[in-house]
């Protein structure tokens, strides 16, 4: 099943190569009880994931964060508030 079908009710909130920024965004959403989905692209596929287990992500790794379309504005506000602290 294509990813676009699975995410038809979801909107991309953030994409970043910075793992710390991704984790902080998740914390902000959890703090506001906003449901989210997250995906990561790992260079080299799953074998690269296993080779790099326990090591910092390479700059080519991308982290995607999705929220329900109906929660998009609330999620943007949560990120803004979290980053201003």
Q: Using one digit for the tens of pLDDT, what is the confidence trace for 46-80?
A: 544 444 455 555 556 889 999 999 999 999 999 99
Higher pLDDT pick, 43 / 55? 43
CA-based torsion, 50, 56, 58, 61: positive or negative: positive
Residue 34 — pLDDT band, cuts 50, 70, 90? very high
Higher pLDDT pick, 50 / 23? 23
Give the CATH number of domain 3-83: 3.30.70.790
**Comparing C-alpha atoms, which of 58, 59, 67 is closest to residue 39?**
67
């Amino acid at each position: 099943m294509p990813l676009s079908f699975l995410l038809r009710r979801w909107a991309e909130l953030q994409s970043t190569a910075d793992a710390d920024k991704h984790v902080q965004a998740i914390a902000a959403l959890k703090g506001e009880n906003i449901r989210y989905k997250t995906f990561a692209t790992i260079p080299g596929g799953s074998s690269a994931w296993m080779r790099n287990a326990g090591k910092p992500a390479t700059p080519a790794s991308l982290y995607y964060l999705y929220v329900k379309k109906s929660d998009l504005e609330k999620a943007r506000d949560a990120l803004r508030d979290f980053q201003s602290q």
